[in-house]
Structure 1
Amino acid sequence: MKTKHILGALSLAALMVSTAYAKTLTLPVVSKGYQHEFFQTVKMGTVAAAKDLGVETSFVGPADETQIAEQIQLIENTMAKKPDGILLAALDANALTPLVETANSRGIKIVTFDSGVNSDIPASFVATNNVKAGAEAADALAAEVGGKGKVGVIAHVAGTSSAIERSEGFTKQMKEKYPQITVLPVQYSDGDPQKAMDKTTDMVQANPDLVGIYATNEGSTLGVANAIDSLGIKGKVKVIGFDSTEAIIGFLKSGVLQGFVVQDAYQIGYQGIKALNDAINGKAVAKVIDIPVKFVSMKNINDPAVDKLLHPFGKK
């Protein structure tokens, strides 16, 4: 009996020691940036998931979405700390592939979000279905312009999969469903509001018969809206944007924008960390996790579900 007690005590002690020394997974995030509200909301989702799952996370990204070399350096710095996995939004689908291969060779799991890489290595890709979202934006703009006329696209970063897919989804839908609409060649703004504003101004001046513009991310949407507003052509050139900020909501309410596609950035972050944690723990993970978008216009902006998406940090 005494022996049983001793063995039981030893087993309990061993369990306590193993629990005490159980490794907490480290799952850092390397984003495309941090300046946009979209990525701040993604970060909020990653932090919440890490807390719920009992893992550690951190969040870094270059100062803007053109800094591919800087992002590569951030990934190298992150890998040097020997994390268990990395949640990555790639600035360039090709340039970041070798880094993903290096991580894989070191036993570091990769899950991508928002913008992926040209590789089968990542355990999962968590994002908006950007092709489908682009098609939805095309339907919205076509309805606004009466199914005919000339429209333009102001996209963000040329090598980013999200920009490519949102533009392709839009142009393909226009070509297939709206033969009376002509889509001008895509213009890239690097997601910079000032560049997007300049590109829009040039587009309007070169095409006096322009009836609509589609912008593919937060920075592009702000730039297009500012240009339309400053040129005094609100309502004459219809605008469908992508992503949401208080300024974008303001442009919708003032009639500069006719609508915008909003992503559930919080869920993209949350599900990204969850997928990475599951993959490391040997659980089945879907290769693609589609986080649905919502199209916002003046018709639904006051719906409670839409309001929650638009104000993830609460109303100021």
Structure 2
Amino acid sequence: MLRHRAAALLGAAALLVSGCAKSENTATAPEPGGSDAQQQVVESPTGPAGAGCTIARQGATAFDLKTAVVGFSQSEKEANPFRIAETQSIKDEAAKLGIANLKVTNAQSQFAKQISDVQQLIAQGAQLLVIAPLNSDGWEPVLQQAAAKKVPIITIDRKINARHCADFLTFIGSDFVEQGRRAADQMIEALGGKGKVAILLGAPGNNVTTERTQGFKEQVAAKAPDIEITFEQTGEFAREKGQQVTEQLIQSNPDIDGIYAENDEMALGAVTALKGAGKKAGDIKIVSIDGTRGAVQGIVDGWIFGVVESNPRFGQLAFATAQKFLDGEAIPEKVIISDREYDAANAEASLGQAY
């Protein structure tokens, strides 16, 4: 049986950024799509001891979150269940906390627009920025403006390449290298340790793609040298593109045994391509990362072998982290969350916990 790490419901705010709250036990079954469904649990705050960012070190002034202008910058079109769940989580938690002035923008997958969006949020008086970055580089104009006004920046789900505390407060998200390793373990199990594998790469220019690829390749090389990676092409984290790339793959590599999709949307596009080519469920083993309802259903239906979760419900953890900062606590450079896995043993029972 595949390793199964279920993220437990968040029991208390103290768990959010304090210590290593690993979640190895099964979560209670929440209402599908509810705001409290499968809230994130901290696996490990990371960073050198004593090097956390405090409001005093940043030279900022504390403010009341409830009355502050808070800006949230979403990076991608909300056609992807991850982005839908992520934005809704931010909105739901802001409403729950009584944050009256939340401003939400969406860059529609255009990096220049995201930079402009965040600059406008700063101009509109944002006192806290929560950013889901499209790319990891190119943020200097925003960082300079935010630093000049002492606006703390929390990045979620993707990192920016910048200086901790001087440029941003913290990154909250998954260990993407570990996600790649866990996906590799699933693929090794699916193929019995040998075969030919294709990788549907995520969008270029961000750390998620780089690290999920790194973890997968390192784990395959170390544990299954008889698995050969024979095809790599970006599917840009999009379902339609994943389908197109898989259609090309079937033509150019008809003997492929497995597909590692670096998110569920590409995996579901691959399933559509395989169906169109007359393949049967399970002919080609698919492993992916995210944990969307559609992909978990794909496991139930036999088209997808396994999924490593990447939990998008950042609202509660992001605002709790901001409040700790405002209360004078030191915030680490990274707050790494715990992600579960889905496989044939738990997929059907876990559909209500997917997003």
TM range (shorter): 0.7 to 0.9
Q: CA deviation at 1:215?
A: 0.8
Tell me whether 1:38 sits opposite 2:82 in the alignment. yes
Equivalent position of 1:237 in the other structure: 284
Equivalent pair of 2:260/2:288 in contact (CA under 8 Å): yes
- Distance in 1, matches of 2:286 and 2:307, equals 8
Q: CA deviation at 1:23?
A: 7.4
Cα separation, partners in 2 of 1:23 and 1:291, compared to 1, 3 Å: closer
Question: What is the aligned residue count?
Answer: 286
Matched residues, percent identical?
24
Q: CA deviation at 1:276?
A: 2.6
Cα separation, partners in 2 of 1:81 and 1:281, compared to 1, 3 Å: farther
Higher relative contact order (CA 8 A, sep 6+): 2
- Distance in 2, matches of 1:193 and 1:255, equals 19
Give 1:131-146 correspondences, 5 Å limit: 131-146=177-192
**Stretch of structure 1 that moved more, 279-288 or 199-208:** 279-288
Equivalent position of 1:253 in the other structure: 300
Equivalent pair of 1:133/1:166 in contact (CA under 8 Å): yes
1:265 aligned counterpart, secondary structure: coil
* Per-residue deviation, residues 63-87 of structure 1 (Å, max 9, x unmatched): 2x3x111211211221111211111
* Per-residue deviation, residues 39-79 of structure 1 (Å, max 9, x unmatched): 2222232234324444342332222x3x1112112112211
* Per-residue deviation, residues 197-230 of structure 1 (Å, max 9, x unmatched): 1111212221122110111123212212211222
- What TM-score do the two structures reach when normalised by structure 1? 0.83
Give 1:1-316 correspondences, 5 Å limit: 24-33=67-76, 34-55=78-99, 56-63=101-108, 65=109, 67-120=110-163, 121-233=167-279, 234-266=281-313, 268-303=314-349, 306-311=350-355
**Aligned partner letter, 1:35:** A
Equivalent pair of 1:151/1:213 in contact (CA under 8 Å): yes
Q: CA deviation at 1:241?
A: 1.6
Cα separation, partners in 2 of 1:22 and 1:162, compared to 1, 3 Å: closer
Cα separation, partners in 2 of 1:246 and 1:22, compared to 1, 3 Å: closer
* Per-residue deviation, residues 109-162 of structure 1 (Å, max 9, x unmatched): 101110110012221111111110111000001110110111111122111211
The gaps in structure 2 that reach 5 residues or longer are: 1-63
Equivalent position of 1:12 in the other structure: none
Cα separation, partners in 2 of 1:23 and 1:270, compared to 1, 3 Å: closer
Equivalent pair of 2:135/2:205 in contact (CA under 8 Å): yes
Radius of gyration: which is bigger? 1
Divergent runs of 4+, >4 A:
none
**Stretch of structure 1 that moved more, 140-149 or 225-234:** 225-234
- Distance in 1, matches of 2:209 and 2:294, equals 21
Equivalent pair of 2:195/2:226 in contact (CA under 8 Å): yes
2:307 aligned counterpart, secondary structure: strand
1:86 aligned counterpart, secondary structure: strand
The gaps in structure 1 that reach 5 residues or longer are: 1-20, 312-316
Equivalent pair of 2:299/2:347 in contact (CA under 8 Å): no
**Stretch of structure 1 that moved more, 132-141 or 27-36:** 27-36
- Distance in 2, matches of 1:251 and 1:276, equals 37
1:260 aligned counterpart, secondary structure: strand
Equivalent pair of 1:39/1:265 in contact (CA under 8 Å): yes
- What TM-score do the two structures reach when normalised by structure 2? 0.75
**Aligned partner letter, 1:174:** V
2:107 aligned counterpart, secondary structure: coil
Equivalent position of 2:45 in the other structure: none
Cα separation, partners in 2 of 1:227 and 1:106, compared to 1, 3 Å: same
* Per-residue deviation, residues 6-57 of structure 1 (Å, max 9, x unmatched): xxxxxxxxxxxxxxx9971222211222332212222232234324444342
- Distance in 2, matches of 1:284 and 1:205, equals 54
Equivalent pair of 1:97/1:117 in contact (CA under 8 Å): no
**Stretch of structure 1 that moved more, 25-34 or 131-140:** 25-34
**Aligned partner letter, 1:61:** N
Equivalent pair of 1:138/1:171 in contact (CA under 8 Å): yes
